[in-house]
Structure 1
Amino acid sequence: MKRIEADTARGRERVPPGQYLVGDRWPVLTYGTTPKVDLKSWDFRVTGLVENPLRFSWEEWNELPKVEVKADMHCVTSWSKLDNVWSGVQAKHLLKLARPKPEARYLSAFCDGGYTTNLPVEELYEEDALFATHHNGEPLTPDHGWPLRLVVPRLYAWKSAKWIRGIELLEEDRPGFWEENGYHNYGDPWREQRYVFDE
């Protein structure tokens, strides 16, 4: 399995401004209840502006090549957890399979429980972006996104959507749940882009 060391600090100190370390703890922050997932009916889709729309069952998902990413995690609520080891499918591998159309500049990630978030498509081409099934060698717990979580270490953790079921590639940006409720549209922890009024 390929191992990737993320440079989420981008050459700076590892803890962004306004953050504190939680050590071995991993706080659980969720809006609403934790979804109940049936792996027999679970699927993952890549749709929208792609040449090759994708759909995977859980069994098919687990046949995809895996990577490990060691990266820090920064939550908008001010905690940081260092040296997380995620394993799963590298995001850019899925994009290679789906073949985005030239006009696909953004994506909407959609999840069980009705949650969505948005990102520029270019974020999924970063080496450390992945769709994770494991954290520190163990399967994700339901509270932390089991069976699948998007991980985008360079952004605040709300962009690393839990219980993800797919992505839709778009020409124009479509803000997600938290972005429509006052959170910053991009969410760079090093620029403290927490809320819309931080611009």
Structure 2
Amino acid sequence: MRHIGVIPRFDLDTWRLEVCGEVEKPISLSFEDVKALPTVVGVSDFHCVEGWSLLDNKWEGILFKTIVKIVKPKANAKYVMFECYDGYSTSLALSDLLEDKVLLAYKLGDELLPLERGGPLRLIVPHKYAYKSAMWLKRIKFTSKQELGYWEKRGYSNTADPWKEERYAK
């Protein structure tokens, strides 16, 4: 799995995930807070924009829908921007994130997600190219307008559908 720079390092005792923006109840979660939420295990494929795939990955974490239920997005929240500890960002339509296989994952296989795979917490969006599955999550920001993330500003598709081969912006 690729990344844009140096792999960030974390102390799980001080790591935080902020969820903010167009929501009724902004929150800041510790790693223990995340793990205390209802857990799901999902198996999904992982498709790179470069043309390769990793099949049958076992992820464990929380459904993105769980966060949505907690923070209660306002009616004007149509998009979600993911900001990462390495400076990376990407955004998706909120509707894309409400599918049942979209996770905030903290385990790969039966082990805590290693740093080189995006730990302690990463987004998993199986129905999009992998650059939409942001690693090293720092902030989840609900917005009324879609913002372009790191790769999207550099010409990658904002919709990123691997079955339609949406690699580049039109």
TM-score by length of 2: 0.97
Gaps of 5+ in 1: 1-27
Report the CA distance between 1:165 and its aligned residue.
1.6
Report the CA distance between 1:182 and its aligned residue.
1.1
Aligned position for 2:6: 33
Aligned position for 2:167: 194
> 1:166 aligned to 2:154?
no
Report the CA distance between 1:99 and its aligned residue.
0.5
Task: Name the SS for the 2:36 alignment partner.
Answer: coil
Report the CA distance between 1:54 and its aligned residue.
1.3
- For residues 92-114 of structure 1, give each alpha carbon's deviation from its aligned partner in whole angstroms, at most 9, with x where no partner exists: 01101110111100010011011
- For residues 30-80 of structure 1, give each alpha carbon's deviation from its aligned partner in whole angstroms, at most 9, with x where no partner exists: 111111112122101110001111111122222111001111110101111
The alignment's C-alpha RMSD in Å is: 0.9
- Bigger mean CA deviation after superposition, 60-69 or 148-157: 60-69
For residue 149 of structure 1, the aligned residue among 116, 119, 122 is 122
Aligned position for 2:157: 184
Q: Which runs of 4+ in 1 moved over 4 A?
A: none
Aligned position for 2:15: 42
* CA distance in structure 1 between the aligned counterparts of 2:11 and 2:168, rounded to whole angstroms: 34
Q: How many residues align?
A: 170
Aligned position for 1:106: 79
Gaps of 5+ in 2: none
Report the CA distance between 1:84 and its aligned residue.
0.9
* CA distance in structure 2 between the aligned counterparts of 1:77 and 1:139, rounded to whole angstroms: 27
Percentage of identical aligned residues: 41
